[in-house]
Structure 1
C-alpha cells in the first residue's frame, strides 16, 4: 500500500518528480543528466536477437523426416515468434531516438533492422507510441490491448490468430487518411518476408517456412498482445486510483523472462513512463536511485513478476 498521506496517482510523474527533487535538493536532475544511452549495449542486444533467430531458422530447416520436421516446425514457430517479439521491442527504443547518437541514424537502424518485420516505419510507430504516453488509459491511447479482459476466450483467440485479425481489420477501417506513401513500409515488409520464405524454399527448408509462418502469424501476435496487457491492465488490488484512467504501470522482476519477453527495458515499464527519454540501458540504475528515495514504497507496490501478473489479471478478469 502507498503511504497514508499519498494523494496522487502513482502514474502522475510530475508531482512525484517534484517531490524527489525537493528531498534530494536538486540532486535528481543532476543525476538524470548522467543517464546517457549505452549504444554498444543496444547494438549487442539487437545482434543477439538476430543471431538466435538465424540459428533457429537454420536448425529447423536442416531437420529431415516428416514427423521430426513437423515437430521442429512447431517448436521453431515458438522460437521465431519469440525472437521477432524480442526484436520488435527495440522499435520502442527507437521511438525515443535511443538506437544511435543521432536521431537520423537511430531512425535508419530502426527502419532497416526492426520496423520491416511488421510492415511499419519508425515515423508511424512514433506517432502512435507518443499518444500512448500522452493518453495512457484513455480512448485516445493508440496502444490499448490492455482494455481487453484476460480470459480463456481471449487467450484462445490470440493463439488462433482471431484477435490479430480483429485488430488488423479495425485499423484498416480507421477513418484516418492513408496516403500512398504510407503503404510503402507494408509493401517493403511483405516483400522481405516473401524473399525470406522464397530463400528457405529454394534450399528445401520447408519446415523453416512453416515455422516462420507460425511464428509471425500466431506466436508473435500472441506475445505482442499479452505483454502490454500485463504491463497496464489494472486489478482490484492495485493501490492507486485506477478508475480515473483504467490503466496502471508495473515493474517486473529481473530474470530470463524479463530479458526476453520484457527486453529493451519493458520489464521496468513504470520507470519508462516516468522518464521516457532514459534509455533502457540505464533503467536499472534509475531504479536503484529512486529506491533510495521516498518513492520506494510506490516502486515496491508495483513490483511483481510476469507469471504473477498473469495470474492476478486472469483471476481478476474471470471474476467479473
Structure 2
C-alpha cells in the first residue's frame, strides 16, 4: 500500500506526484528512545572528560565540543517534536519533548512549533519567519558580523523575544495553570520544565565539581548552538525562493550541523510525516527507485561547510565578470 504525501511546494520539483511506501511512515519505539537518549549520553561523556582529563586547558575544549554536540541533538529533537516525534498524541508529545529535550536548552516545543510551521507553509517567502540567506545577511553587515553577533551573545535577546515574548503558545490541558494563575505567573508556569531541567543539570555538574561545564553549557546554548542552526539553514535553503537542499555530509559535520538524519532536508520538507529515522531510506527511495535526483543535482550537496563557502564565493564574485 502506498500513501500520498500532503501537498508540498518545492523548488523545481513536483513532489505531490510521488507516493511514499507505507513502510517509510511506520513509527519505531526503539528509534524514538535511541534518538532521545543520545544527547544525555553526550552530556555524560562531557562530564567524564571533565573529570578524567588532567590539564584544564585540554578538558575544557573537549568537554565543550561534547556539550555542543548534545545541544545540537536536543535542538533537532525539538524540531522533530514539532512534527510529533515522541507521540501522535499532542499533549503527550509536548510533555515528553519539553522534559526530555526542550527544557535542557531553554526552549518550549509548542512555541517553537508555531514559528516552525510557518516556515513549512511559507518556505523562502517574505512570510517565512525562519528565512535567512546570504542576501539578507549581506544587507545586515555580512557573514563575519553575523557570526560575531552570535558568538558574543548579541543575538540572545532577539532569540528570547522571538520564541517567548512574541510567541504565545497554547498550553497542554494536562499542564494547564490554575485559575489563580494569570499574566506573568502563567508564563512562568508554562516554562517550569526549563527551570527544573536547568536546576537538575546545574546541581549534577556542581556536585561533580564541574561548575565550569554548566557555565560552558549556558554560553553554548545562547551562542554556538543557535549559530550552527542559522548556518545550517543557509546551506539547506540557499536562495530567495523555496529551494531545499539535502546534504550528504560526514558524520562529524552532521553532528554539529544536522544530527539525527536532519541533513535529509528535502525529504523532510517534501514529506514531513516521515519519521526522522526513516529519512535515509526515504532518500534512497527517491534516489534509486524514483530517480528523483538524476536531473536535480542542485538539490544535493556533499558538505555544509563546502556549500557555505560556495554561496559566499558566489555572493562576493563581481557581477558581469566571467571567470
Q: Shared topology, TM-score over 0.5?
A: yes
Once residues 222 and 54 of structure 1 are traced to their aligned partners in structure 2, the CA distance between those partners, rounded to angstroms, is 24
- Ranges in structure 1 where 5+ consecutive residues have no aligned partner: 1-7, 21-27, 235-241
Once residues 287 and 318 of structure 1 are traced to their aligned partners in structure 2, the CA distance between those partners, rounded to angstroms, is 32
Question: What per-residue deviation string (whole Å, max 9, x for no partner) do you get for residues 57-81 of structure 1?
Answer: 23214556xxx32442243223212
Q: CA deviation at 1:84?
A: 0.8
Pairing 1:1-320 to 2, within 5 Å after superposition: 10-11=10-11, 15-18=14-17, 20=18, 28-29=19-20, 31-32=21-22, 34-61=24-51, 68-100=55-87, 102-146=89-133, 147-149=136-138, 151-169=143-161, 174=166, 180=184, 181-234=186-239, 242=240, 245=241, 247-257=242-252, 259-260=254-255, 261-291=257-287, 292-293=289-290, 295-304=292-301, 305-319=303-317
Question: What per-residue deviation string (whole Å, max 9, x for no partner) do you get for residues 228-268 of structure 1?
Answer: 2221132xxxxxxx5xx3x4211111531354231233201
- TM-score after normalising by structure 2: 0.77
Greater relative CO (CA pairs within 8 A, separation 6+)? 1
User: 1:162 is paired with a residue of what secondary structure?
Assistant: coil
- TM-score after normalising by structure 1: 0.77
More helix by share: 1
Question: What per-residue deviation string (whole Å, max 9, x for no partner) do you get for residues 131-158 of structure 1?
Answer: 1100111233232344434622222222
Question: What per-residue deviation string (whole Å, max 9, x for no partner) do you get for residues 15-57 of structure 1?
Answer: 4322x4xxxxxxx35x246531233112112212211112202
Question: What per-residue deviation string (whole Å, max 9, x for no partner) do you get for residues 74-111 of structure 1?
Answer: 43223212211122201122111122464443333212
User: 2:259 is paired with a residue of what secondary structure?
Assistant: coil
User: Superposition RMSD on alpha carbons, in Å?
Assistant: 3.1
Structure 1 residues 214 and 17: alpha-carbon distance in aligned structure 2, compared to 1, 3 A threshold: same
Q: CA deviation at 1:189?
A: 1.0
Contact 2:86 2:96 in 1 (8 A): yes
Structure 1 residues 220 and 154: alpha-carbon distance in aligned structure 2, compared to 1, 3 A threshold: same
Once residues 169 and 316 of structure 2 are traced to their aligned partners in structure 1, the CA distance between those partners, rounded to angstroms, is 38
- Ranges in structure 2 where 5+ consecutive residues have no aligned partner: 1-7, 171-182, 319-323
Structure 1 residues 120 and 12: alpha-carbon distance in aligned structure 2, compared to 1, 3 A threshold: farther
Once residues 227 and 275 of structure 1 are traced to their aligned partners in structure 2, the CA distance between those partners, rounded to angstroms, is 19
User: 2:223 is paired with a residue of what secondary structure?
Assistant: helix
